[in-house]
Amino acid sequence: MNAPLIIPELVSLDADLGSTKAEVITSVAGIIARAGRADADGLTRDALDRESKSPTGMPGGFAIPHCRSAAVSQPSLGFARLSPAVDFNGPDGPADLVFMIAASENGGADHMKLLTKLARALVKPEFVEQLRQAPDAQTVVDLIGGVVGPEEGAPVPAPATAAATDETAPEQTPTTHVVAITACPTGIAHTYMAADYLTAAGKKMGVDVKVEPQGSTATEPLDASEIEAADAVIFATDVGVKGRERFAGKPVIESGVKRAVNEPEKMVAEALAAAKDPHAHRVPAGHGEHQEPEQAGSQIGWGKRIQQALMTGVSYMIPFVAAGGLLIALGFLFGGYEIAKDGMDIALHNTFNNLPAPTAHALGGSATMTYIGAVLFAVGQAAFGFLLPALAGYIGFGLADRPGIAPGFVAGAVAGVTGAGFIGAIVGGLLGGLVAYWFTRLNPPRWLRGLMPVVIIPLVGSLIAGGLMYVVLGRPLAALTNALNNWLGGMSGASAVILGIILGLMMCSDLGGPINKAAYLFATTNLAVTNVGSLKVMAAVMAAGMVPPLAMALSTTLRPNLYQPAERENGTAAWLLGASFISEGAIPFAAADPLRVIPSMMAGGAVTGALSMALGAASKAPHGGIFVFFAIDRVWAFILAIVVGTIVAALLVTIFKASAKRKAEATA
């Protein structure tokens, strides 16, 4: 049988354990250590580190400091009734009751379960008063054991009067139901982190929160019955919500995805308030398949709405960039870089029975490799051909849902034909989306409604957006794009280094957010084999984007005692994420400690971007990290820039965290 969580030796009654919360935590950790269940120094350090992230003082005059720690040999609950009370930053003054949950390093689920059980019991004034009046340690053990671990055989207390009824009522009466959608531009990290945070917040608050993360992997949609039972909806997204029409009529709270990571409990609380407010904003029923975005959460202004549309376009464009760019890079590997000149012609006119003459740098000097390289190059070019239409089309989708897709795609295609490039695609996508959105605001006769989304809006929207691109906007935007490409091609010396610094800072500032995506979009949409400057920009962007996860992995390896167990596990995974150019691998660290992590990562990214540009590294592949080394010119410079930037970022974040730890220990 497992040892009980709390025993009389872990209880201290009416004791003066210090005048600050750090002193109290240190004293209770010592009590647990003297019972042979933990190392005092390690438990104190981890508990204070957890306390520094957010205070554990609760309404009602009690505090629940807690942590998971490798210093804990036996999961335990220490209890102290303080005299005098000590300030734990609770909302209603000092705490006279302190519960220290000391969970073992691999006891995450038990830790959360224990915290939830204890918090639910402590909201009952009768139970708290019984603890304040308990005459001895064994009575405290019996009372607490009854609510956090009845399975261990501890007797369940029988609170006076109506308390017994209150004890069981919450279990029998359904709580408020909230459903949520989370989504970020890449659908890799923020999407799933936000979903986890909202779910955990709901459990802590006693709210049934069901989340549908609309990420890059297969998503199990919310069941229709769960949506029907929901009292309110949370949309925490940086891109458009798929299937918004399912939530028609529900009170809605909307924000960017990061808010759900940073303030999950506040968002759940706002959803609860909206559920009770008859005037709350609601997801509209709309007409047909389209849902009018203006009314679906007017907490978001047009600036945020346009930003979400741009991120939606980038999100849907990235698969075309990755597939097309990597296929082109493989074409170069097999057929040599000369394949860029004749690859399309070879793919169209040659076969395995009619092989072309081998190119000078084909793999093994083989005609077969030349033909395979040409086919890979041609397929990659075809995929790349969708880059501008996809960007513009899904910007239109982000603004006007499905009616915006056709006008956006047409405007993006025209941007490609006229040479307006990615700037033209952005402008065209916004035009197409706004025109389509305006049409969805109309209230046509019933007999015309069926034609609106499938005929009238695509026809008129495509005509207006595409026509304006041809007649008015195409040539000036093409001139701007050509000037930009000429500038990239002519970069050298100090100007190249400065651009590398700027791109490095952008790539590491928000780790997959809008600023990061803006730098990546700048690099990928200007990528051209014939423009050496664009290849250097692509290398600098990819190298800088690899730095944050690699730096955090290195820091957790060098100084593991500065990080929580879960962070050390994330650090192990971050090696591969960083090597693969997935900047989001550093997000868990940035979310936990943004003021120390993000500036350190930006410094490392700036160093990497500057070195990559100065040393002339150039990448013909838009993604893949070290796994596309064959498509990188001066690969030694590329790797050197990454190594130096990673070391700089890792040293800075380690120094900052070590300094914070020393201050916390000095306070203790």
Catalytically active residues, by annotation: 66, 184
Look at residues 488, 486, 438, 493 and name the one whose alpha carbon lies nearest to residue 465: 438
Cα–Cα distance measured from residue 429 to residue 394, given in angstroms and rounded to the nearest whole number = 7
Tell me the three state secondary structure of residue 34: helix
Angle between helices 137-148 and 108-122 (to 10 degrees): 110
What residues pair up with 319 in beta bridges, in sequence order? none
Q: Which letter does DSSP use for residue 72 in this model? A: B
- Looking up tokens 């820039």 gives 641
What residues pair up with 76 in beta bridges, in sequence order? 102
Asked if omega into 84 is within 30° of 0 (cis), the reply is yes
Tokens read off for 118: 């204890």
DSSP string across 296-360: TTTTS-HHHHHHHHHHHHHHHHHHHHHHHHHHHHHHHHHH-TTHHHHHHHHHHH-BTTBPPPPPT
Cα–Cα distance measured from residue 145 to residue 156, given in angstroms and rounded to the nearest whole number = 7
Give whole-number Cα distances, 482 to 408, 421, 475, in Å.
22, 9, 10
User: What stretch of H or E contains 234?
Assistant: strand 232-237
Say if residues 622 and 524 touch (Cβ distance below 8 Å): yes
Positive/negative CA dihedral, 522, 528, 532, 538 = positive
Tell me the three state secondary structure of residue 294: coil
SS3 content of the chain, % helix, strand, coil (to 5): 65, 10, 25
User: What stretch of H or E contains 666?
Assistant: helix 635-667
Say if residues 95 and 25 touch (Cβ distance below 8 Å): no
What angle (nearest 5°) sits at the alpha carbon of residue 430, between those of residues 537 and 486?
30
Pairing of strands 177-183, 208-213: parallel
Give per-residue burial for 230-256: e unless 16+ CB within 10 Å, then b.
Answer: bbbbbbbbbbbbeebbbbeebbbbbbb
According to DSSP H, which parts of 134-280 are helical? 137-148, 163-172, 190-205, 224-229, 257-262, 264-276
